[in-house]
């Protein structure tokens, strides 16, 4: 992992819901934090002794460099990440990376539709701050199990561009892609973030309604079941173009595993194919893409996630 850690301090901590905590992080030395664009996330070193690192979206206004705002959902089966974040108190030191972004605002779109499910509101909230500041045309649809499960609802409920959809509410206020989003428009970008089931529903419904895949932008918090269950059933050779070194990638290992084992200075972060930090260019060979962060166009352009994807060809040459 190639992070240069920034020392921050928890300036404020509040329980937004029974399961979501909001943390305000300030630079430990009082300086401005590195700038970020809407949709960005940071790595958080949750437990330095265990090397436990997790990724969380920045949900505050991007123009405010005095602080980073994170909203973290406690997971019932937490492996230490969300539980560690919920255990933080005001004054605690937190080490974070510089922001990274694979989920930015489409500069070519004239209209923007933000579709959030649950904790997926976090990157979309930052997008709404930016779109509002530049006077862009946008609307947000925020889906949650109930009002009490929804973060930032008091800030959003009076905004005419925001529609709230609660599972326990009347049927007529539930999200309907056909009426709430409408027919496909070439000038419109859709942004989707939330739990896997919510995202699968929204994306498949949009595609079935005729929306072009290039108009749909998404960020996942976990790999899809299909990619998580992919079988690594054949070995192949990964060749590094800059040095000419070659390594065998066995069925049980990822390309990234092999690179790190052989002390190759390769970028990485989440190791789940959802953050984009490990992406490198394929120069030759036929990749078997198994990530959940790159678009079809980026795959066609030769971008490759070393932490999850494999190869259909015997040799895969990378720009490393």
Is residue 106 situated within a structural domain?
A: no
Let me know whether 198 and 123 are in one domain.
yes
3-state secondary structure of 238: strand
Q: Which pair of structure tokens corresponds to residue 214? A: 């290039």
Question: Is 184 in the same domain as 212?
Answer: yes
The string of pLDDT tens digits covering residues 224-261 is: 655 555 555 689 999 999 999 999 999 999 999 999 99
237 and 205 inside one domain: no
Boundaries of domain holding 160: 111-219
In a domain, 192, yes or no: yes
Mean pLDDT of the chain: 92
Looking at 69, 96, 123, the residue that finishes a domain is 96
Looking at the fold, whether 208 and 140 belong to one and the same domain comes out as yes
On whether both 138 and 201 belong to a single domain, the answer is yes
Can you give the CATH number for the domain in which 28 is found?
2.40.30.10
d(CA 39, CA 79): 25
Domain co-membership, 152 together with 177: yes
The answer to whether position 146 is within a domain reads yes
Same domain, 187 and 247: no
If you average pLDDT over residues 144-164, what whole number do you get? 95
Query: Which candidate, 224, 226, 229, places its Cα nearest to that of 195?
Result: 224
CATH number of the domain bearing residue 138: 3.40.50.80
In a domain, 102, yes or no: no
User: Which helix or strand (DSSP H or E) is residue 282 part of?
Assistant: strand 279-284
How many other C-beta atoms can be found within 10 angstroms of the C-beta atom of residue 200? 15
- Share of residues in the chain with pLDDT > 90 (%): 78
d(CA 148, CA 151): 8
Q: End of a domain among 178, 200, 219?
A: 219
Whether residues 294 and 234 share a domain: the answer is: yes
pLDDT of 45 > 90? The answer is yes
- Nearest Cα to 68, choosing from 124, 25, 20, 121? 25
Tell me whether residue 150 is in a domain. Answer: yes
**Residues 120 and 178 grouped into a single domain:** yes
Q: Does a structural domain hold residue 1?
A: no
3-state secondary structure at position 239? strand
Strands 137-144 and 162-166: parallel
Q: How many domains does the chain have?
A: 3
Residue 105 lies in a domain: no
- What is the mean pLDDT of the segment spanning 11-28? 97
In a domain, 103, yes or no: no
Indicate if 20 and 72 belong to the same structural domain.
yes
Co-location of 91 and 115 in the same domain: no
What residues does 20 pair with on adjacent strands? Answer: 73
The answer for 238, left when phi > 0, alpha when psi is -120 to 50, beta otherwise, is: beta
134 and 85, same domain (yes or no): no
Q: What is the pLDDT of residue 234?
A: 86
């Amino acid at each position: 992992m190639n992070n240069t850690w920034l020392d921050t301090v928890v300036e404020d901590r509040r329980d937004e819901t029974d399961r979501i905590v909001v943390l305000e992080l300030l630079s430990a030395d009082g300086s401005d934090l590195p700038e970020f664009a809407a949709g960005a996330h940071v790595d958080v070193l949750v437990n330095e002794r265990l090397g436990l690192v997790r990724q969380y979206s920045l949900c505050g206004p991007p123009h405010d460099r005095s602080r980073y705002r994170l909203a973290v959902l406690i997971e019932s089966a937490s492996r230490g990440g969300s539980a560690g974040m919920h255990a933080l108190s005001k004054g605690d030191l937190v080490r974070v990376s510089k922001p990274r972004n694979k989920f930015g605002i489409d500069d070519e779109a004239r209209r923007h539709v933000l579709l959030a499910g649950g904790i997926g509101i976090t990157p979309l909230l930052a997008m709404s701050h930016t779109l509002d500041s530049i006077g862009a045309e946008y609307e947000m649809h925020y889906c949650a199990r109930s009002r009490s499960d929804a973060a930032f609802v008091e800030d959003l409920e009076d905004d005419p561009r925001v529609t709230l959809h609660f599972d326990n509410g009347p049927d007529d206020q539930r999200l309907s892609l056909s009426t709430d989003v409408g027919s496909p428009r070439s000038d419109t970008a859709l942004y989707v973030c939330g739990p896997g089931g919510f995202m699968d529903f929204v994306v498949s419904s949009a595609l079935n309604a005729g929306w072009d895949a290039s108009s749909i932008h998404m960020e996942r918090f976990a790999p899809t079941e299909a990619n998580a269950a992919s079988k690594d059933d054949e070995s192949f050779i990964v060749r590094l173009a800059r040095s000419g070194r070659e390594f065998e990638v066995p069925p049980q290992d990822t390309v990234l595993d092999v690179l790190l084992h052989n002390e190759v200075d390769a970028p990485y972060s989440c190791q789940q194919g959802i953050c984009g930090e490990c992406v490198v260019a394929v120069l030759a060979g036929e990749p078997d893409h198994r990530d959940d962060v790159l678009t079809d166009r980026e795959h066609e352009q030769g971008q490759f996630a070393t932490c999850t994807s494999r190869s259909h060809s015997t040799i895969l040459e990378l720009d490393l």
